[in-house]
Structure formats: C-alpha cells, structure tokens
Amino acid sequence: MIDSRTWMPAIALGLATSGGVYWLADVPLLATYVGAFWTIGVGLTAYHADAIPGLLRGNSEWGTTARLWSGAFGGLMALAATAVMGPQLPVSSETRFALGLLVIGVAITMANVGIGLALSLAGDGAGTVETRVEAPGSDS
C-alpha cells in the first residue's frame, strides 16, 4: 500500500535534488536519473523503516552483524562516490558532484531493493524480519 506520508517527502526531495543537479551541471538526463534514484531510494528507506529494527534508528538488537554489513555498504558507497568525483575524470567539477549524487542515490535504492527482496522471501513482504539466536552447539 502506498502511504503518502512516506512517498510525498521522497518525491519532494527527488524533485529538489533533480532541480539542483540540473541547475548545477545543466545535464537534463543526469538530473532526471539523480532525481529518480533519490526519490525511490528515500521512499523505500522510509517504507522499510518499520520493518527492519534499527534501519533508521540505533535501537537494533541484531548485534555486530548488522553493523558490519551497514559499514561495508557505507564504505563501498563512499569509495564509488569518491571515484567519480576525483580529478582524474575529464568533466567539470559540477558534473562530478552530480555523478557522486547519482552513485549515492543508486546505492541507497539498491540497498532498499535488497531489503524488499529479503522481506518478500521471509514472508509476505509486509512483516518484519525475525532474528533467531541459537546457542552454539544446539541442534535445531
């Protein structure tokens, strides 16, 4: 179900990001892609916020495993954004900045597509992901 409280702010942020990229880099197609990925990524993040404990808040009881994966995600996303924003790319600095925004938007969107896939495999896609902690050596 589409919740306007989730998607309207995401659409507004996507339009603002797209307008900013168009104003900054003057590349309409790049601005469209950046706006689309930021809209979808932020909207899905807000949509999945209640399904994954600690996704937007630090109250996760998942232990160090979730922090490991979120750290890997953040580090790899920063590496990719830095690669397209480096001076070795023969484009203007404004276009490099826009490409960095595109990389970050794609990363956020793809992370949320993975979360949606995990939720749909765990159940009907509307529930939460249950964690199961077993004692070492238990056979269940």
Evaluate if residue 104 carries a pLDDT over 70: yes
Rounded CA-CA distance 24/16 in Å is 12
Quote the number of domains for the chain.
Answer: 1
**Structural domain of 70:** 4-122
Is residue 41 one of the residues assigned to a domain?
yes
Question: Which tens digit of pLDDT belongs to each residue from 22-48?
Answer: 999 888 999 999 999 999 988 888 887
**Structure confidence at residue 97 (pLDDT):** 87
Is residue 136 one of the residues assigned to a domain?
no
Is residue 54 one of the residues assigned to a domain?
yes
pTM above 0.75, yes or no: no
Is residue 40 one of the residues assigned to a domain?
yes
Reported in sequence order, the residue ranges of 12-105 that DSSP labels E, i.e. its strands, are: none
- Mean pLDDT along residues 96-123: 84
Is residue 131 one of the residues assigned to a domain?
no
Is residue 132 one of the residues assigned to a domain?
no
**Structure confidence at residue 115 (pLDDT):** 80
Q: Across all residues in the chain, what is the average pLDDT?
A: 76
**Structure confidence at residue 125 (pLDDT):** 45
pLDDT tier for residue 78 given thresholds of 50, 70 and 90: confident
Is residue 137 one of the residues assigned to a domain?
no
What are the tokens at 56? Answer: 């937007």
Chain centre to alpha carbon of residue 59: 19
Is residue 30 one of the residues assigned to a domain?
yes
